[in-house]
Structure 1
Amino acid sequence: MAVSRDEQKRATREAILEAARQCFDAEGYEQTSVRDIASVAAVSAGSVIHHFGSKRELLYAALFEDLEASMREALVLPKSPPFGAELDAMTRIIFSYYQRRPRLSRVLLKESLFAEEPWASRFREQTARLHGAVEAMAERAKQRGEVSREVDVRVLAMSYVSFYYFALLAWAQGGHEEPARLVSVQMAQHMRGTGPANVSGG
């Protein structure tokens, strides 16, 4: 069966993205050239530029799509109370991406936090979805009586996102080997006194 032009373009694009991930993770962003990526992808340097425009655009695309896949996987997990256990399961999936590609993850921290438009908005939207998912979990926990009705679930979700980035930075700088566990511990500490149930999840 003949491969359509669109299918061929998608396959080439995915090959370039995967080559970029490999090169950035192995050699670092600055040390990797478009020619290096093209060689690993078995395409021309011109093809890389045609699909992505520049090395930086390629970096943003690779980081965004990797993180997007981890987010999708984490956010469709079956609901499995208590609240802390739900949070821990989601956190472990997201952090597993970073830990699979540690060098690339350090680039992600720098580039996603200070990305230019339109990528800045896209990375912010990912964070907003994470915040929204935690807010929804917290609201369900409140309805179950795990969290006090006086707790503002939006602020609680903001606290989670703050702990998430703190743990990610600590891990990237070599200060903590288990970032997901660090988030769990920080959330458990934060949640003390907000409800009758133990929400540490771990």
Structure 2
Amino acid sequence: MNAFTEKPDRAQGRRDAQKEATRARILETARDHFERHGFEAANVRAIAADAGVAAGTVLLHFQDKRDLLHAALFDDLAAAAAEAVADEQPGTLEQQLHRLAAAFFAYYARRPALSKTLLREALFADPPWQERFTGQVASVHARVAALFDAARARGEVAEGADAALFGVAFFSFYYFTLIAWVQGAHPAPLALLDRLVAQHLCGLRPAEHTGRSR
């Protein structure tokens, strides 16, 4: 069977697979360039050359360098978020939150220089990326709230504690520790996050866990 006799749906599937493979190769090359050179110094022509494609091919997939950056960051964060949210291992709420945050910090540790760009671009991106990054945060917030609800059912936290509000507090601690690490102010952000969460949960324990009377 050749290109003239191949069934249209099979030929289209092959073209789609090739297109996706090219896109993935461009994104991985872009991540490497952004990490080594920084966003401002990286350029589309160099990325295209290292990816083995023409600069015009890069611009067929992405509008410009910033769109390429957002796509690279979004795909990476989506993979980290999927890993974090999919964790179903048993444990206390603190243990589960530790593993969730560890999945993200593992990504940052692999690309420390890119983390600075990630913070700036993910938090203050323009549409449509703003909505996409916000959607990722919402999915992780929902997971944190679900873990909190389950912990409340197990008696780890007080009945009146608000799961959604705790999720907001968790993200406040998370971004604080991430920013501190990126700025070089703290060498162990995950350990700091663990301590902040543990202290916050002290005020949310049932009375019998704290020694206070009801």
Answer whether TM exceeds 0.5 for this pair.
yes
| Structure 1 residues 5-84: aligned runs within 5 Å | 5-84=15-94
**Match status 1:110 vs 2:120:** yes
**Which stretches in structure 2 are left out of the alignment for 5+ residues?**
2-10
**Aligned with 1:170 (options 180, 183, 193):** 180
CA RMSD of aligned residues (A): 1.6
Give 2:129's aligned residue. 119
* Residue type of the alignment partner of 1:62: A
**Which stretches in structure 1 are left out of the alignment for 5+ residues?**
none
Runs of 4+ more than 4 Å apart: none
Structure 1 Cα separation of the partners of residues 18 and 75 of structure 2: 19
Structure 1 Cα separation of the partners of residues 120 and 61 of structure 2: 24
Aligned length: 198
* Residue type of the alignment partner of 2:149: E
**Aligned with 1:185 (options 189, 195, 200):** 195
Percent identity between matched residues is 45
Structure 1 Cα separation of the partners of residues 127 and 21 of structure 2: 26
Question: What is the TM-score with the length of structure 2 in the denominator?
Answer: 0.89
Q: SS at 2:87's partner residue?
A: coil
* Residue type of the alignment partner of 1:35: R
* Residue type of the alignment partner of 1:187: V
Q: SS at 1:80's partner residue?
A: coil
**Aligned with 1:156 (options 166, 170, 186):** 166
Q: SS at 1:147's partner residue?
A: coil
* Residue type of the alignment partner of 2:104: I
Structure 1 Cα separation of the partners of residues 137 and 100 of structure 2: 14
Q: CA deviation at 1:178?
A: 1.4
Q: CA deviation at 1:79?
A: 3.4
**Aligned with 1:128 (options 125, 138, 141):** 138
Give 2:153's aligned residue. 143
* Residue type of the alignment partner of 2:109: Q
Higher relative CO (Cα under 8 Å, sequence separation at least 6) belongs to 1
